[in-house]
Amino acid sequence: MLDLSGFARMPQSPSQVYGEVAINSNLQADPDYAARFYGSGTIPRRVVAESTDAARYVSVRAGCGDNSATNQRCEPQASDAVARVNIYRSTFTLEDRDAPAITTVSGDATTESLWAGSTGISVGASDEGAGAYRLGVEVDGQIRSWQYLAAAPCRPWPGTERTFLSPKPCPSTVGGVQQISTADLPDGVHTVRVLVEDAAGNQTTAYGPVSKTLRRTAEGTPSAVGTGSPAGGSTSDPGPLNGTPAVSDARIRARWTGREGATRSIRFNQRPKLDGQLTTPSGQPIRDAFVRVTIRRDARNSPSFARDSLRTDKNGRFRWKLPTGVSSRALVLSYHQRVNATKAVASTRLNLRVSAGIRLSLSRRTARKGQTVTLSGKVLGRPVPGGGKIVELQARNAGAKWITFKTVRSRKSGAFSARYRFRNAGPARFQMRARARRSGDYPYATGSSPVRRVTVR
């Protein structure tokens, strides 16, 4: 579409020559003009051309020509042009058939079976065409929400869905944590899919389709999970009594299995277990009761979220083995006298500290003076901060203190690399490692890679 106005002036007799403004959207030598205006005067502003899908270019021609067989020429005056055309706006449709590519997917939305209130998902994507545009949440085959993946100019023109002010409006690569709000999603068990769409409308599935239990708020209407265990409460209906006997002064105890104390530290990808017991004040077990679990990751501004409730056995005991790859987090285990109640009558807290996981490899095991070793590796825990994670590269002689010789920033994928040149001759043996420190944007404790060794001869 071309939106323009123009002015054509005839310096000679109107019976012999004419001024013209012509629009052509094909490559014919004698084209069929989409619009053509003759004579003197002003052409009012209007849309004068709408190209078809087959059009590959639009030309605007302003000139003068012969209106008879006299071959008289139309000469412009030195002080003014024959015609003037003002182009106010043009809209072009660019063809992009390549869908985005998904590079990484992680986060609580992928590991937890319950989405309540808000849940986080970290999606890395790339798109070589118009760029990665937005993240969509599909429930039971219907898109229920969209989130933009980048700032302007990756925003549509008001009132449109995919009209932009730039030929490539969105970035080629995107990443970082996106929060999915369940406030407008239906309660209950549903099939969900998370997708990434580029600016041209091409879509790629990032996660799913998979069944999830949805609840609009962290303390909203309960939904069945698994075999019917409630994961939250309702402010309007407290529901039936929770367990036998259901008391208002229950006692709950929990610990990390095989450990004393409320805090446990583990290596990355370990699977810790917790166990506990729910009783009355006199020690009588409360059986068949639901124990709610609320989790908050150890990262700045991380929201709390609920997971499937645990259920007590005939002795009032409950157990849970956490999945692999979890980050540092705080867990609150609580008992509510009624299954949908919002206020807990007993609760306890456990803390988990997970060391950052890092892989590291060296390009050589032996070297001489002046030679270089390449250190390459990857930060394993997710999500990686949007700007990458700072990694310290350290070395020492066996038994000596670690010395940081270089600091690098990983890519969004967690990968990093660096080089080190040996300036002194051997013989010497060095140990090397990579370390990631705890930080507010990365929910892991300080952790190091396995030690690698290199000999300088």
Report pLDDT for 127: 92
Domain 101-215 of CATH type 2.60.40 = yes
User: Of 297, 317, 299, whose CA–CA distance to 255 is shortest?
Assistant: 317
Number of CB atoms found within 10 A of residue 389's CB: 24
Q: Write the CB contacts of 79 (distance below 8 Å, at least 6 apart in sequence).
A: none
DSSP letter assigned to residue 168: S
| Structure-token pair, residue 405 | 């010789």
Contacts of 291 (CB under 8 A, 6+ apart): 252, 276, 278, 309, 310, 311, 312, 318, 333, 334, 335
Long-range pairs, 37-43, Cβ under 8 A, ≥24: 37/6, 37/8, 38/8, 39/8, 39/10, 39/14, 40/8, 40/9, 40/10, 40/14, 41/7, 41/8, 42/5, 42/6, 42/7, 43/5, 43/6, 43/7, 43/8
CATH 2.60.40.1930 in the chain, residues? 225-354, 358-456
Q: Which of 447, 239, 453 is nearest to 365 (CA)?
A: 453
Cβ neighbours of 154 (radius 10 Å): 21
Hey, what amino acid is at 66?
Answer: D
Residue type, 114: L
> What pTM does this model have?
0.50
Report CA torsion sign: 295, 300, 302, 304.
positive
Output the CA–CA distances (angstroms, integers) from residue 238 to 164, 248, 290, 365, in the order listed: 50, 13, 14, 65
Q: Would you call 81 exposed, middle or buried from its count of C-beta atoms within 10 A (0-12, 13-18, 19+)?
A: middle
CA gap 407, 237 in Å, rounded: 56
Helix (H, G, I), strand (E, B) or coil at 395: strand
With contact defined as beta carbons under 8 Å apart, do 266 and 354 qualify? yes
Distant-in-sequence contacts of 149-156, Cβ < 8 A, 24+ apart: 149/125, 149/174, 149/178, 149/196, 150/174, 154/199
Please, which contacts does 164-170 make with residues 24 or more away whose CB atoms are closer than 8 Å?
A: 164/130, 164/199, 167/94, 167/130, 168/129, 168/130, 168/131, 168/199, 169/130, 169/131, 169/133, 169/199, 170/127, 170/130, 170/131, 170/132, 170/133, 170/198, 170/199
**Tokens read off for 448:** 């190091």
3-state SS, 268-329, equals CCCCCEEEEEEECCCCCECECCEEEEEEEECCCCCCEEEEEEEECCCCCEEEEECCCCCCCE
Q: Helices (DSSP H) in 51-132: which residue ranges?
A: 108-111
Length of the chain in residues, anyone? 457
**Alpha carbons 344 and 340: distance in angstroms, whole number:** 10
pLDDT for the residue numbered 39:
46
225-354 belongs to which CATH class?
Answer: mainly beta
Decide which of 2.40.30.10, 2.20.25.160, 2.60.40.1930, 3.40.190.10 is the CATH code for 358-456: 2.60.40.1930
User: What is the CA angle 213-218-224, rounded to 5?
Assistant: 30
pLDDT values of the chain reduced to their tens digit, one per residue, 457 residues? 444 444 444 444 444 344 455 555 544 445 555 555 544 444 444 444 444 444 444 555 555 544 444 444 445 444 444 455 555 566 777 788 889 999 888 888 898 889 988 888 888 899 988 899 999 999 999 999 999 998 888 988 887 888 888 888 999 988 877 889 888 888 889 999 999 999 999 999 999 999 999 988 765 433 333 334 444 444 456 778 899 999 999 999 999 998 888 999 999 999 999 999 999 999 999 999 999 999 998 888 788 888 778 999 999 999 999 988 899 999 999 999 988 888 899 999 999 999 999 999 999 999 999 999 999 999 998 888 888 999 999 999 888 999 999 999 999 899 999 999 999 888 899 999 999 999 888 999 999 999 999 999 8
pLDDT reported for residue 260: 82
Q: Is 401 exposed, middle or buried (0-12, 13-18, 19+ CB in 10 A)?
A: exposed
